[in-house]
Chain A
Amino acid sequence: MNTASPSNQSPTVADTFLKGIWKENPVFVMVLGMCPTLAVTNSATNAFTMGIATTFVLVGSSTLISLLRKFIPKQVRIATYIVIIATFVTMVDYAIQAVSLQLYLALGAFIQLIVVNCIILGRAEAFASKNSVFQSILDALGMGIGFTVALLCLGTVRELLGTGSLMGMRVFGDAFEPWGLMVLPPGGFFVLAGWLLLFSWWKRRSTTEAATAGVAMQRTGSHEI
């Protein structure tokens, strides 16, 4: 993955922050962290909570890793990263239990499974271990928000069609026939496939448009993934 921009300028603050939301969106572009993306998006509330929890772990672990990056020997870095990430996940786990038991039961073991979410270890290895604390926080925030937005995209569609409501509020009225499938596992696969199709179609269209306009567009590399 080539993160450097084509021109030789160093990435600006806005770039570092925004790339996670759009250009390198962890779910839609990099296709990472699929387990929580599919498992907890059966309602928008669950999706949002999961997104926030992941963002917290991302920011927390990135900050700590970036702070300690000079002191951690290369040989044991993966082990330390995992311990740091697991620490923050345990904290989030307790925080959610304290806020709402109902939410905690709905998300189940998937809060604890944030530990093995490849996005977090990936950012620690690729960014936080090499950049300043400020940059790392920005990067983690961007990635976290990008992840949250992606989860919300899925959660909204699944909850709307699957139960006829949004964030627990009825939208379509009482006569609506819910599509039970959408809150079931196959619904997760289909809705994510739908979003990916939409993205790839949109990307294709904008590339061809740019090409016909005679503008040389740099390919973003998503096709190789």
Chain B
Amino acid sequence: MSAQLEAMELRSSPHLPEKAGVETIMFNVVLALIPIVCFGIFLFGVSVIALVATTTICCVLAEYLVCRCANRASTIPDFSVVITGILLALTLPPGFPLWMAAVGSLVAVFVGKAMFGGLGYNVFNPALVGRAFLQAAFPSAITTWTPAMSADRFTAFIPSTLTLPFTRVQPMDEWLRTASIDGFSGATALALQKFDGISTNAGQLAMGFTAGSSGETSAVLILICGGYLAFRRMMDWRVPASMLLAAFLTSAVFYMIDSTQYPTPVFTLLAGGLMLGAVFMASDMVASPVTPLGVWIYGGLMGFLTVIIRLKGGLPEGVMYAILLGNAVSPIIDNLTQPRIYGAKSRRDTP
């Protein structure tokens, strides 16, 4: 408290309600992510600890290097790069080889962030740039899922985790067979639904005891953590709200067309990375539009694209691509929804 008082300064009007500084917001985001990380560790064991540690450390190191080379003051204390690291880990499969995760972290920070001029200018969500890179580079490793709650998860790594750099991941069929317990198969709920027509019940999905990325499985926990941020006004609640709403409605339309082939709207909301993406990644302030109408269009578009890619595309999951595409068109949305300045002619008339 005293630190805050010391930092107080006198300003001339207008006196707007004070907005929290970047560091405070980012620190709270990290706080909100901690329960999700802990749940991931509880589900998948020590491999997730190693994964989160690897991505976070690599991201911080990369940021340090960038600041060194550019002769800038260190931007590590603003926590944004830590968030990038944690988010990247949460979107990766639990047994993802650590060296690949390290490559993804470097890409996220160098390509996704530093090239655009660092925090405040990253037009794409850096963690998702890293993940999209990994998805294209190592398509097989990033779609190898491991069952949750395996018996020896706290005593042994998932075998693929410790793969040596630049070498192929050894087949894990044997390990998978011994590790899976009744009801916990290695495939994600989305893949089961899409390729085998097996539905997972909503309660299980909401709680998150399913296979999937390290931190995407528990919809309820993510909602609670996101709710905390929204409540403290550290996140624009309209982005996740519009994205989830659009996903729900699009999915409902498909479900009404053919209820045997397409999943229920509730399944769409709870399964896969939609919740994590909507709450923690789509809401990235830099990459979102600024106008209120724009924010709704932006969220709606991402929700719609997610469902379209999931149901009509080749991949079972489309949240990552939907958010990147949303990021890409957000300047255009901004441009189209810009309110007319009072007294000015419409933009088209001005040469």
A residues within 8 Å of B by Cβ?
172, 175-177, 179-182, 184, 186-187, 190
Best-surrounded residue of B137, B138, B163 (most CB of chain A within 10 A): B137
Complex contact B169–A177 (CB within 8 A): yes
Most chain A CB within a 10 A radius of its CB, from B138, B163, B166, B169: B166
Least distance between B215 CB and chain A CB atoms (Å): 24
* Chain A residues, CB < 8 A from B136: 180-181, 184, 186-187
Complex: A172 Cα to B164 Cα, angstroms:
14
12 A-B pairs within 8 Å (CB atoms) are namely: A172-B166, A177-B141, A177-B168, A177-B169, A179-B137, A179-B138, A180-B136, A180-B137, A184-B136, A186-B133, A186-B136, A187-B136
Give Cα A181 to B138, complex, Å. 8
On chain B, the residues within 8 Å of A184 by CB distance are: 136
Question: In the complex, what residues of A have CB within 8 A of residue B138's CB?
Answer: 177, 179-180
Given known A-B contacts A181-B133, A190-B111, A176 and B139 have beta carbons under 8 A apart: no
Bound: A177/B163 CA distance, A: 10
Q: Could you tell me the dominant secondary structure of chain B's interface residues?
A: loop
B residues in contact with A177, CB < 8 Å: 138, 141, 163, 166-169
Q: Are A175 and B167 in contact (CB-based, < 8 A)? A: yes
CA of A182 to CA of B141 in the docked complex: distance in angstroms?
16
Shortest distance from the beta carbon of A126 to any chain B beta carbon, whole Å: 33
Contact yes or no, B137 A176, CB < 8 A: no
Cβ–Cβ contact A175 & B139, under 8 A: no
Minimum CB–CB distance for B260 against chain A, Å: 35
- Interchain CA distance A181-B137 in the complex, whole Å: 4
CB contacts under 8 Å to A, within B104-160, are 111, 133, 136-139, 141
Shortest 8 CB-CB contacts between residues of A and residues of B: A181-B137, A181-B136, A179-B137, A175-B167, A177-B168, A175-B168, A176-B166, A180-B139
A36 to chain B: closest CB distance in Å? 22
Decide: A176 and B167 in contact? CB cutoff 8 A.
Answer: yes
**Chain B proximity of A197: nearest CB distance (Å):** 9
Alpha-carbon distance A5/B168, docked complex (angstroms): 53
Q: In the complex, are the beta carbons of A182 and B168 less than 8 A apart?
A: no
CB distance from B120 to the nearest CB of A (A): 22
B167 CB, min distance to chain A CBs, angstroms = 4
Q: Which of A177, A179, A182, A184 has the most CB of B within 10 A?
A: A177
Given A177-B167, A180-B136; 12 other pairs, CB 8 A cutoff: A176-B166, A176-B167, A177-B138, A177-B141, A177-B168, A180-B137, A180-B138, A181-B137, A184-B136, A186-B133, A187-B136, A190-B111
Residue on A with the closest CB to B169?
A: A177
**Is A182's CB under 8 angstroms from B166's CB?**
no
Q: In whole angstroms, how far apart are the Cα atoms of A172 and B166 in the complex?
A: 9
List residues of chain B with CB within 8 A of the CB of A176: 166-168
**Residue from the set A176, A179, A184, A187 with the largest chain B CB neighbour count within 10 Å:** A179
Complex: A184 Cα to B134 Cα, angstroms = 13
CB-nearest residue of chain A to B135: A181
A151 and B255 alpha carbons, distance in the complex (Å) = 50
Query: How many Å from the CB of A205 to the closest CB on chain B?
Result: 12
Set A172, A175, A182: member contacting B137, Cβ < 8 A:
A182
Query: Which residues on the A side are within 8 Å of B141 (C-beta)?
Result: 177
B167 partner residues in chain A, CB cutoff 8 A: 175-177
**Of listed A180, A182, A187, residue having the most chain B CB within 10 A:** A180
* Chain B residue at smallest Cβ distance from A197: B115
Report chain B residues within 8 Å CB of A172: 166
For the complex formed, measure the closest distance between the CB of B95 and the CB atoms of chain A, giving whole angstroms: 15
Separation of A100 and B166 alpha carbons in the complex (Å): 33
> CA separation between A186 and B129, bound complex, in Å?
12
Cα separation A86 to B93 with both chains bound (whole Å): 52
Cα A176 to Cα B163 with chains together (Å) = 11
* Residue of B111, B136, B169 contacting most chain A CB atoms (<10 Å): B136
State A190–B137 Cα separation when bound (angstroms): 12
Residues from chain B with Cβ under 8 Å of A179 in the complex = 137-138
Q: How far is the CA of A175 from the CA of B169 in the complex (A)?
A: 9
Closest to A161 in B: B137
CB contacts (< 8 Å) of B168 on chain A: these are: 175-177
Q: A73 vs B200: C-alpha distance in the bound complex, in angstroms?
A: 75
Q: Provide the B223-264 mask, 1 if CB < 8 A to any CB of A, else 0.
A: 000000000000000000000000000000000000000000
